[in-house]
Amino acid sequence: MLTRKMTRRIIGIVLTVALIVSSVALAVTAATAVDTSHPGSLCLTYSYDGQSFAGIDVAIYHVADITRYGAYSLSGAFADLPVEVNNIKTQDEWNQVASTLSAYVTAKEILPDGKSTTDENGAVSFGEIPLGLYMVAAVRIEGDTGYYVFDQFMISLPDLDDEDKWVYDVVAKPKSVFQEFEYEDITYHVNKLWKDEGYAHKRPQSIDLELYCNGTLTETVTLSAENNWNYSWTAKDDGSIWQVVETDVAEGYTVTMEQSEASFTVINSYEKPEIPPVTGDVSNIDIYLWIICAAGLGLIVLGVTGRRRKSE
Residue 24: which domain range? 4-31+284-311
**pLDDT at 300 (0 to 100):** 52
Q: Specify the DSSP element, H or E, that contains 253.
A: strand 253-260
**Predicted local distance difference test score (pLDDT) of residue 231:** 98
- Report, as ranges of residue numbers, the positions in the chain whose pLDDT lies below 70: 1-32, 273-312
Whole-angstrom distance, CA of residue 66 vs CA of residue 48: 32
Show which of 145, 180, 215 is a domain's final residue. Answer: 180
CB contact at 8 A, 63 and 75: yes
CATH number of the domain enclosing 168: 2.60.40.10
Domain match, 80 and 151 both: yes
Q: Which pLDDT score is estimated for 6?
A: 53
Question: How many structural domains compose the chain?
Answer: 3
Same domain, 203 and 125: no
Query: What is the CB neighbour count within 10 angstroms for residue 133?
Result: 24
- The domain boundary, picked from 125, 145, 180, lies at 180
Based on the fold, state whether residues 167 and 249 are members of the same structural domain. Answer: no
